[in-house]
Chain A
């Protein structure tokens, strides 16, 4: 499995989760532009990944009882990691991860409100076997490259979000500001582009946006698994008075949502969400987030890039797909200075390490504790602002968690690494070169490169014996995946 060219590797690290041997086969003969189309227009690829859970030639899942990713959060975490590793639509999963951070919703608060089963279901339910609306992450997959205004509107009605930001208690007698504030501060325009009185007005706009329970809904584990909560607009709880904002709500520049009727009051929220979605500051804020997610966290967003991406977003009526296509085909994306100019998120790091080192017999329940130590338990962002990205991922404790995960993974793949690398050649140089074909860290300076070579022969002269290969190939994988160079993507 020889390495792809470095442009393709770069593309697959950024628009996906790295390069598995299967990916190398898929992309080997593709041009970069064909590969971008392959990734962006992913509807042409089969969405068969969940059906492959349980296959022996894939990563494994493990659970106490029956694997139940629709209602058990740890199983849902395994399913998502499985998808990151084995999906044929890597950009879709990548965008789902982006939206999960953007609309950061934490399982633990949902549990306090709804119990473990319903909380997991609200986040991860994939419609099929059970009744009820799709879970939040399925919404993110559905709208991965969809229309942002539509996604925002769906998120505002998403049961997990309604619970997370206390929409259930947003009544006309006592408006509740949590969602009204965050929809502006975090989901759209950002601090500095709205006022405190906008927050109060937004809270009133969303009064009555609530949930109702199905008849078989129960919080505890004895309820019917088919029970669910779904969005409902409670007209009698809507504040029908006029709401005035500091920014235009309507295309004619009008800043006031007029007083209306209870029955028609849901339109207030639709109007506000639409106004926020098409606000130029939302366009610019998303452009900056895409810069950081796809291009660089080392370099400040280029103003020309932000202008260009924002313009495409607005011209295309808040469609995300043309924006991401613009990002991936832009000169900034291919600029060599932008390679390895991002700090990998723990989920990116773990998925890529498994894809590149190997997954034979490796069970994905083993990534839960390490990912917690790295600071990124899926479905458990620290707060509504999402995870601390970039350099914020790295501290002594989280770096140890990464390197120790590299050790766990390498230990599990000892035999496979040894047999895969057996043909590499008779010298430690050849072993190192073969390993660097599999895993693709940023380039090493001479001192760390020398340390890797010294490690290979530290136990005595290189003989290429099975035992030596077994030990050193795993140790080398640990050193490479645990290196600082590998943490950059």
Chain B
């Protein structure tokens, strides 16, 4: 069933309100608490990424027969070797940036990630990746539950969401996450200047500090206002950053540039959420070029700029990027040169401490193969996506994944760190 997202956030942030009533300069508290400096950047590819054209099994004849107009020619793929099942694989030709990282040994590609009875609904599937519970698309998110483990009072910028909407993955009962879609407009405006403007901001701050007892929905709106005012000055620091490389002029590129600024300026966020859309390629997606090629170019170029910038700043070893999408797509192309909603996808991790390589095995796309499902229409999952989460939580963020994921997914997890 569909979620009652509004209800959850509302109930959640009532508590956040109280947490945020704590003293200012919480980043100083965070530093004093001696927290490790590792941070996670999550890139969500919205719409259901066509994993079969991201990481291509270019010697599988069925790949070409089932995708006559959108298969990437074998001669154009960026070869990345052979997986444990003996399948030769290559990245989409527009993923040159990712191939660079792969060649440095710092890109892990985890094939056929998913879960049983994969949802084909964007909303439900995205929420399932958020809750990390295939049985429930409602409730808190896995990263929200991670934030709940951090010492209190929680820094108002413990996590930084670069999209306008709070994704379910970041929802939690005790930890609010600011949404900062555009850091340069993240400022306080007034119809007046000088002292009158300062007095007005002071009044707004007092008004937003009202706990609004008995009116949780008002308290929730107040909490967003207060968090905004508290974080304005630190966010401004991030926007003054001059990167060491040129970022592509895409939404993803600009968001990653802002994240780099926040990291380099020491804003202190542990989790950054970045998303880029357009992956719901039902029609005319193209093969090497076209709209899917552009999506791959956006991803590959953005990730490469960010990775290079972090490396130049000496921060690559403190930064891991996790890339996922809510599902993969149908194996056979449809009548419109696109692909419909499918099942298993490909997850990626990259960063200075990532053990790069190919994890898992590619599906055999021939009808009847046990690696397929839905009358051989879709790719069946091999690696539970939660085992990738577990690895990130246990090995990277340094917390026990079992309570956060409500289960033990450590056994058989891909050794990406």
Contact = CB atoms under 8 A, between A and B. Distances in A.
Interface of A: 112, 165-166, 168-171, 173-178, 181, 185, 190-192, 196, 199, 297-298, 300, 341, 343, 373, 375, 382-385, 388-392, 394-401, 403-404, 407-408, 410-411, 414, 442, 445, 447-448, 451-452, 454-455, 458-459, 471-472, 474-475, 477-479, 482-485, 487-488
Given A190-B1, A475-B190, 8 more contacts: A191-B1, A196-B374, A297-B6, A388-B6, A397-B228, A400-B186, A403-B228, A485-B218
Interface residues of B, number: 70
Given A169-B334, A397-B181, A399-B228, A447 B164 contact: no
A178 B161 CA distance: 30
Contacts of A166: 282-283, 336, 338
B266 to A, nearest CB: 20
A191 B121 contact: yes
A384 B126 CA distance: 14
A192 B218 contact: no
Contacts of A394: 220-221, 224
B218 A396 contact: no
Interface stretch (B56-64, B194-202, B240-248, B402-410): B194-202
Contacts of A442: 218
B127 to A, nearest CB: 11
A170 B338 CA distance: 11
Given A391-B220, A395-B165, A403-B204, A176 B336 contact: yes
Interface string B1-12: 110011101100
Contacts of A174: 333-336
B35 interface: no
A178 B207 CA distance: 46
Given A397-B180, A397-B181, A399-B221, A451 B207 contact: yes
Contacts of B335: 169-171, 173-176
A38 B334 CA distance: 50
Contacts of B202: 455, 458
A294 to B, nearest CB: 15
A471 B124 CA distance: 50
B222 interface: yes
Contact of B192 (A300, A454, A474): A474
Nearest to A373: B185
B75 interface: no
Contacts of B121: 181, 185, 191
> Which of B180, B188, B218 counts the most A-chain CB atoms under 10 A from its CB?
B218
A192 B1 contact: yes
Interface in B91-125: 120-124
A190 B2 contact: yes
Contacts of A185: 121
Contacts of B200: 455, 475, 478-479
Interface of B: 1-2, 5-7, 9-10, 13, 46-47, 120-124, 161, 164-166, 178-182, 185-192, 195-197, 199-200, 202-204, 206-210, 212, 217-218, 220-222, 224-225, 227-228, 231, 277, 280, 282-283, 291, 333-338, 340-341, 374
Given A401-B185, A404-B189, A487-B221, A375 B164 contact: yes
Contacts of B165: 375, 382, 388, 392, 395
The 4 tightest CB contacts between A and B, nearest first, are A169-B336, A390-B6, A174-B335, A395-B179
Given A178-B340, A395-B224, A475-B191, A383 B122 contact: yes
Contacts of A373: 164, 181-182, 185
A414 B208 CA distance: 24
B180 A454 contact: no
Contacts of A397: 164, 178-182, 186, 228
A280 to B, nearest CB: 16
A177 B381 CA distance: 22
Contacts of B336: 166, 168-170, 174, 176
B235 to A, nearest CB: 9
A390 B10 contact: yes
Contact of A169 (B123, B195, B283): B283
B178 A482 contact: no
A168 B209 CA distance: 53
Nearest to A163: B283
A370 to B, nearest CB: 9
Contacts of A471: 192, 196
A169 B204 contact: no
Contacts of B212: 445, 484
A396 B228 contact: yes
B5 A390 contact: yes
Given A397-B179, A459-B195, A408 B9 contact: no
5 contacts: A341-B217, A384-B122, A395-B164, A395-B165, A403-B189
A385 B122 contact: yes
Contacts of B341: 177, 181
A487 B212 CA distance: 14
Nearest to B337: A169
B191 to A, nearest CB: 4
A316 to B, nearest CB: 26
A382 B277 CA distance: 9
A166 B334 CA distance: 11
> Which of B179, B209, B283, B337 counts the most A-chain CB atoms under 10 A from its CB?
B283
A396 B120 contact: no
B220 to A, nearest CB: 6
B172 to A, nearest CB: 14
B2 A191 contact: yes
A395 B166 contact: yes
A407 B340 contact: no
B178 A385 contact: no
Contact of A176 (B2, B47, B225, B340): B340
A196 B166 CA distance: 29
A128 B231 CA distance: 50
A407 B190 contact: yes
B251 to A, nearest CB: 12
A475 B121 CA distance: 46
A298 B220 CA distance: 12
A475 B164 contact: no
B189 A408 contact: yes
Given A191-B121, A448-B210, A482-B204, A398 B179 contact: yes
Nearest to B177: A395
Nearest to A473: B191
B90 to A, nearest CB: 27
A180 to B, nearest CB: 10
Contacts of B6: 297, 343, 388-392
B56 to A, nearest CB: 22
B5 A396 contact: no
Given A169-B337, A192-B1, A455 B178 contact: no
Contacts of B179: 395-398
A454 B164 CA distance: 33
A10 to B, nearest CB: 16
A415 to B, nearest CB: 12
Nearest to B208: A484
Nearest to A168: B336
A454 B203 CA distance: 8
A388 B376 CA distance: 35
B161 A407 contact: no
Contacts of B195: 458-459
Contacts of B181: 373, 397
A308 to B, nearest CB: 21
Contacts of A390: 5-7, 9-10
A472 B374 CA distance: 66
A39 B260 CA distance: 52
A459 B196 contact: yes
> Which of B1, B208, B224 counts the most A-chain CB atoms under 10 A from its CB?
B224
A456 to B, nearest CB: 9
A196 B208 CA distance: 47
Given A399-B224, A478-B200, A298 B191 contact: no
